[in-house]
């Protein structure tokens, strides 16, 4: 205890230098823990992009490919599911609900998704959180549309505005379905998922805008006005994919096997959670690189601590000599410097932990509302405490370097005046 008290008094005597060193460690620890929090939060948000959906069904393809185009709207399907097959799957006794998805068109760079109003009721993200409307309501008419939060923010749309859908991902003369404009009826609240970056219309609307199109182009000499289309049978011929919820989770693998062995056409059923894990393993390299960079920052701060202690040794030669003259052994001097190093690191680490929670309380709502990145404000996990403990131990070991130099100093060297 006397050694600890002596270390505290010694640091107080050099409080400005000690405080700056402590602050450097605190900032590096805050950065490291922030990166860890962002990393785990990003992984959790990624894994919770879609929640509560037991299976995703599409044409025969790879798991990641099906996940990319059905959930993230990246890429295109190898084939579609016929409407007859979709109805057959929906009629199976294991199915509690099923939501169709039809892709292929766009609006000013944003994908257009043909679906039903069940999508807004059944789609879940982030631990079973449902979709909410920031403005307006779901579509109720053939040419109504609901847009995601990013679409509304980027293009400045509000309920009542009129938009024109483009054929495919093209955007130019002849590619727009400008004879059948849509009216925005609702804007979804921000979710931080691909839902924010899409335009939603009914399956019948997808059929309606293509009645006078064939092979990706307008049929020459044929133009069917919107009012006439309303009186036509607009039953979909195909859908791109389907989100499925089952009555019992026990039946997931049995129904997945049924879909994969479906005789009418080649289909694939994937578990979203498994596919998301596979996809994360492909894109998680940046996560590990960011963690390595933040670790290097902590190591740099520890190195700065060693440098500071070594730099002050020359100034403290008289202090060491007085301690030796009062009976302190070289080992005591070494332990004093090690204790100082440990105290600076411990206080810097705890201060950094405090900075982290201040940042969380201030920026958590902003990250959630603006980027859809939800960071939980909870107690440090066992992994966090292990990391913090390792940093403190590293600081103690770092103090052994100046401690060894002080240990080797003699009383005569301390009392002598160097020219």
User: Which position has the token pair 């940042």?
Assistant: 359
Domain co-membership, 37 together with 97: no
pLDDT at residue 86, as a whole number: 96
* Domain-embedded: residue 144: yes
Q: Write out the DSSP string of 294-335.
A: HHHHHHHHHHHHHHHHHHHHTTTHHHHHHHHHTT--HHHHHH
Domain hosting 117: range is: 55-270
Domain co-membership, 349 together with 387: yes
Check if the beta carbon of residue 2 is closer than 8 Å to that of residue 339.
no
pLDDT at residue 84, as a whole number: 95
Check if the beta carbon of residue 359 is closer than 8 Å to that of residue 36.
no
Domain co-membership, 83 together with 220: yes
* Domain-embedded: residue 65: yes
Query: Of 218, 246, 270, which marks where a domain is finished?
Result: 270
Query: In this model, does residue 419 exceed pLDDT 50?
Result: no
Query: Of 223, 245, 270, which marks where a domain is finished?
Result: 270
* Domain-embedded: residue 354: yes
Please indicate whether residue 418 or residue 149 has the higher confidence score (pLDDT). 149
Domain co-membership, 243 together with 217: yes
Domain co-membership, 29 together with 67: no
* Domain-embedded: residue 277: no
Domain co-membership, 211 together with 291: no
* Domain-embedded: residue 227: yes
Q: Which of 56-65, 303-312, 406-415 has the lowest mean pLDDT?
A: 406-415
Query: In this model, does residue 162 exceed pLDDT 90?
Result: yes
Domain co-membership, 289 together with 265: no
Domain co-membership, 116 together with 263: yes
Whole-model pTM? 0.73
CB crowding 42-58: b at 16 or more within 10 Å, else e: beebbbbbbbbbbbbbb
Query: Of 244, 270, 296, which marks where a domain is finished?
Result: 270
Query: In this model, does residue 183 exceed pLDDT 80?
Result: yes
Domain co-membership, 32 together with 89: no
* Domain-embedded: residue 208: yes
Domain co-membership, 85 together with 134: yes
Domain co-membership, 23 together with 79: no
Domain co-membership, 73 together with 40: no
Which residues have a Cβ under 8 Å from the Cβ of 18 and sit 6 or more positions away? 11, 12, 340, 344
Cα separations in angstroms, 125 against 19, 122, 189 = 45, 10, 13
Query: In this model, does residue 411 exceed pLDDT 60?
Result: no
Structural domains counted in the chain: 2
Arithmetic mean of pLDDT, 211-216: 76
Q: How far is CA 99 from the centre of its chain?
A: 25
Using one digit for the tens of pLDDT, what is the confidence trace for 45-77?
Answer: 777 889 889 999 999 998 999 999 999 988 888
Reported confidence tier of residue 147, pLDDT bands at 50, 70, 90? very high
Query: In this model, does residue 371 exceed pLDDT 90?
Result: no
Query: In this model, does residue 173 exceed pLDDT 60?
Result: no
* Domain-embedded: residue 275: no
Q: How far apart are CA 22 and CA 341, in angstroms?
A: 10
* Domain-embedded: residue 256: yes
């Amino acid at each position: 205890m006397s050694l600890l008290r002596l270390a505290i008094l010694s640091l107080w005597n050099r409080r400005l230098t000690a405080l700056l060193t402590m602050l450097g460690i605190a900032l590096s620890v805050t950065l490291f823990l922030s990166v860890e929090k962002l990393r785990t939060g990003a992984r959790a948000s990624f894994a919770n992009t879609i929640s509560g959906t037991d299976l995703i069904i599409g044409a025969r393809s790879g798991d990641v490919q099906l996940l990319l185009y059905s959930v993230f709207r990246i890429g295109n399907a190898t084939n579609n599911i016929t409407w007859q097959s979709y109805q057959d799957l929906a009629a199976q006794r294991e199915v509690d609900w099923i939501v169709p998805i039809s892709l292929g068109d766009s609006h000013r760079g944003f994908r257009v998704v043909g679906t039903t109003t069940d999508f807004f009721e059944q789609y879940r993200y982030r631990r079973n959180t449902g979709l909410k409307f920031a403005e307006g309501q779901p579509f109720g008419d053939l040419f109504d549309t609901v847009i995601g939060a990013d679409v509304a923010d980027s293009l400045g749309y509000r309920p009542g505005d009129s938009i024109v859908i483009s054929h495919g991902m093209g955007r130019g003369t002849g590619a727009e379905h400008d004879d059948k404009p849509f009216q925005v009826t609702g804007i979804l609240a921000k979710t931080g998922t691909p839902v924010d970056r899409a335009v939603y219309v009914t399956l019948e609307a997808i059929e309606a805008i293509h009645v006078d199109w064939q092979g990706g182009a307008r049929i020459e000499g044929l133009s069917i006005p919107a009012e006439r289309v309303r009186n036509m049978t607009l039953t979909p011929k195909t859908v791109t994919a389907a989100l499925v919820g089952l009555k019992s989770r026990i039946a997931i693998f049995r129904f997945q096997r049924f879909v994969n062995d479906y005789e009418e056409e080649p289909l694939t059923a994937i578990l979203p959670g498994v596919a998301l894990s596979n996809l994360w393993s492909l894109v998680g390299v940046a996560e590990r690189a960011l963690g390595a960079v933040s670790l290097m920052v902590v190591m740099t701060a520890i190195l700065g601590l060693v440098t500071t202690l070594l730099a002050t040794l020359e100034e403290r030669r008289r202090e060491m000599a007085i301690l030796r003259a009062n009976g302190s052994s070289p080992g005591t001097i070494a332990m004093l410097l090690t204790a100082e190093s440990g105290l600076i690191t411990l206080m810097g680490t705890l201060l950094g932990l405090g900075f982290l929670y201040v940042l969380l309380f201030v920026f958590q709502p902003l990250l959630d509302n603006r980027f859809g990145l939800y960071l939980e404000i909870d107690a440090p996990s066992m992994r966090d405490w292990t990391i913090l403990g390792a940093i403190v131990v590293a600081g103690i070991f770092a103090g052994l370097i100046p401690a060894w130099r002080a240990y080797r100093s003699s009383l005569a060297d301390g009392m002598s005046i160097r020219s």
